[in-house]
A and B are shown apart, each in its own frame.
Chain A
Amino acid sequence: MLEIKNLHASVEDKKILKGINLEVNAGEVHAIMGPNGSGKSTLASVIAGKEEFDIKKGTISLDGEDLEELAPEERAHKGIFLSFQYPVEIPGVTVTNFIKTAINESRKARGLEDMPANQMLKLIREKSELLEIDRKFLSRSLNEGFSGGEKKRNEIFQLAMMEPKLAILDETDSGLDIDALRIVANGVNKLRGKDNAIIVITHYQRLLDYIVPDYVHVLHDGKIVKSGTKELALELEEKGYDWIKQEATV
């Protein structure tokens, strides 16, 4: 589904991604781990199409189609969803209004009419129950004054509403309490299917206890320096990153 080849990306001449290779197939869950500043969020942003980053070399394609020429919203219309590490606030725009706009814009791009209001309502009800989101929460301004955990839960609510083909979760677990982690992970798992893929960026094993990955990759200094199965995450939890950094520099 997603194919990244020898990807190099910079911001203002600062090299951040230095040759990433990654293939994610439908039905798979990949975890990306790695020390602070290694380039995980940058990779997510580049996949989503953030303009700030210049792609210097390499390709990214989704279902065989090169993404480079596509605007971020076009990538979203193709089913890419990014759950942000730091979701932004949009004062005065309610969660409901925002998600309604997002869904209808994506439908429009696919030549569909706006989703009928009753269907939208039903979907909102269903997904907010799944994620145990209070109805009052939906009438608040998007992310404004949300606690860290509320922001993350709201990201996954949007994900559940949009049912993307490829979901990238950037540190969705940070800020979530233990119960919330379980609820959110449960929401994400509902999305899992043979036609979807998920990339989970995280620092901690505990999320991976719930969302069990098929593959784990370690990003260090803009490169994937080690890949393995879920056991690799356990090993990292135990030993930290030093041994990998050493391996990488050898």
Chain B
Amino acid sequence: MAYTEEELKKELETKEYEYGFYTDIESDTLPKGLNEEIVIAISKKKEEPDWMTQWRLEAFKAWKEMEEPEWANVTYKKPDFQDISYYSAPNKKPKYNSLDEVDPELLDTFKKLGISVDEQKKLAGVAVDIVMDSVSVATTFKKTLAEKGIIFCSISEAIQEHPELVKKYIGTVVPKKDNFYAALNSAVFSDGSFCYIPKGVRCPMELSTYFRINQAGTGQFERTLVIADEGSYVSYLEGCTAPSRDENQLHAAVVELIAMDDAEIKYSTVQNWFPGDKEGKGGVFNFVTKRGLCEKNAKISWTQVETGSAVTWKYPSCVLKGDNSIGEFYSIAVTNNFQQADTGTKMIHLGKNTRSTIISKGISAGQSQNSYRGLVQVNSRAENARNFSQCDSLLMGNLCGAHTFPYIEAKNKTAQIEHEATTSKIGEDQIFYCNQRGIDTEKAIALIVNGFSKEVLNKLPMEFAVEAQKLLEISLEGSVG
């Protein structure tokens, strides 16, 4: 017979994290704890110039004075910041020219993830910069990009090779004192990606980075900086999974995007970090600050599929500074078991005729809590600003929750702001209809969820959309009410 709700619940509980394994690559780890010496040590290990070290120290000073924010609709045991090791780099860290030279164990890790580097290479037009445990260990397709003058490398490399660009832009969109987690990241960021697209250049391929938290008890502090010079275009993909660990892992990334006049940046994320076990223990804490700045006629689109993490706190935002600039946010957030997500966006309209679109799809199952929090702010000088927001929630079962917190601050009378919200439940009739056509309950849910999420999935680049669909299916296996 088909599933009863009871059976489904049981199956849901026994679902273990698929990618819960741990790669045994030797690494060089700093002692636990955080103080000025550690900050200096990180900077030293990375052979950074003095201005970078000073910048980190200023951030650290600011962080020490700050309090962890409490306003999000999540509850968790606060991390002990002195019990985390702030730096871990794979020991063998030569730069590879070809993937054949990469540590076979690392390649194996990617195979287990079902996104083997081999496969990725085959995916036409995808350059992959793999960030594993804080240090980039492989970069491909660099040459093709270099021919167009595009810089795509780890942020550490950029600090060495292109200090003038890093110095000029780092912290300009997310200031180092912006918030608690951003300040922490600014002090201790280990690595991340850097990307610069020169004037008028259209990046010929999707730039892609796979992040993965690896060392036990190692916080991850990625720092990403993407600069699209005037009239350029780039599509950037970020995806990640993490191994199962017993203690909470902290992740506090900062992503800064700069789209100069007439430039466009598409930033897509598929995130699948360890959500915690059935009691909600041991998942990743994901506190991320992502923000983009649009100059005149520029456009930034954030697209994200969030299925992982025990606690997610994330608001990719756009500062629409230039006239006629456009900000977009497309999001699917899935929570299951005891996951908590408080996510959304901020659209800050400063320029005239600026436009923003927000499409948020929240899917909650189990006993999870899924909150959308969005701010649309229209400055007094932003004539004719327009925003459209749509927040849809899909519930499975009676124990989960969906919440919507839209904030609107309009200081200009010409602003047009629209907000729509819906909440629906996967109905037994829908499931039975699918069953009757030979589609089992598991697959039926996947079908319904994919249908619900379609507007956002459609915004993802092709290869990523397929992966994202698989992820949605995996993360909702066995959940129905």
Give A residues with C-beta under 8 Å from B.
Answer: 48-52, 69-73, 76-77, 81-82, 84, 87-93, 97-98, 101-103, 105-106, 109, 141, 158, 162
Contacts and interface: CB of A to CB of B under 8 A. Distances in A.
A90 B430 contact: yes
B450 A92 contact: yes
17 contacts: A49-B435, A50-B432, A69-B1, A72-B2, A72-B435, A77-B438, A81-B436, A82-B436, A84-B436, A89-B430, A90-B447, A92-B452, A92-B453, A92-B455, A93-B450, A102-B434, A103-B438
Contacts of B428: 52
A159 to B, nearest CB: 10
B427 interface: yes
Nearest to B433: A88
Given A88-B430, A105-B443, A141 B451 contact: yes
A90 B448 contact: yes
B447 A101 contact: yes
A52 B430 CA distance: 13
B437 interface: yes
Q: Output the residue of A77, A82, A105, A141 with the most chain B CB within 10 A.
A: A105
B466 interface: no
B417 to A, nearest CB: 25
Contacts of B1: 51, 69-71
A240 B436 CA distance: 33
Interface of B: 1-2, 4, 427-430, 432-441, 443, 447-448, 450-455
A98 B447 contact: yes
A106 B453 contact: no
Nearest to A110: B438
A102 B450 CA distance: 15
B436 A92 contact: no
Contacts of A69: 1
Nearest to B427: A88
Contacts of A82: 436
A98 B447 CA distance: 8
Contacts of B452: 91-92
B450 A158 contact: no
A84 B2 contact: no
B433 A76 contact: no
B437 A98 contact: yes
B439 A105 contact: yes
A2 to B, nearest CB: 16
Contacts of B427: 88
Q: Output the residue of A49, A69, A87 with the most chain B CB within 10 A.
A: A49
A87 B430 CA distance: 9
Given A89-B430, A162-B437, 8 more contacts: A72-B2, A90-B433, A90-B434, A93-B448, A93-B451, A102-B438, A105-B440, A158-B437
Given A51-B2, A71-B440, A88-B429, A76 B450 contact: no
A92 B454 contact: yes
A170 to B, nearest CB: 11
Nearest to A91: B451
Contacts of A92: 450-455
Contacts of B448: 90, 93
Q: Output the residue of A49, A92, A109, A141 with the most chain B CB within 10 A.
A: A92
A48 B435 CA distance: 9
A93 B440 CA distance: 16
A81 B4 CA distance: 22
A84 B447 CA distance: 19
Q: Output the residue of B436, B451, B454, B455 with the most chain A CB within 10 A.
A: B436
Nearest to A75: B436
B439 A87 contact: no
B443 A76 contact: no
Contacts of A89: 430
Contacts of A72: 2, 432, 435-436
Given A73-B2, A91-B451, A106 B438 contact: yes
B232 to A, nearest CB: 33
B317 to A, nearest CB: 27
Contacts of A84: 433, 436
Contacts of B439: 73, 101-102, 105
A73 B433 contact: no
Contacts of B432: 50-51, 72
Nearest to A51: B2
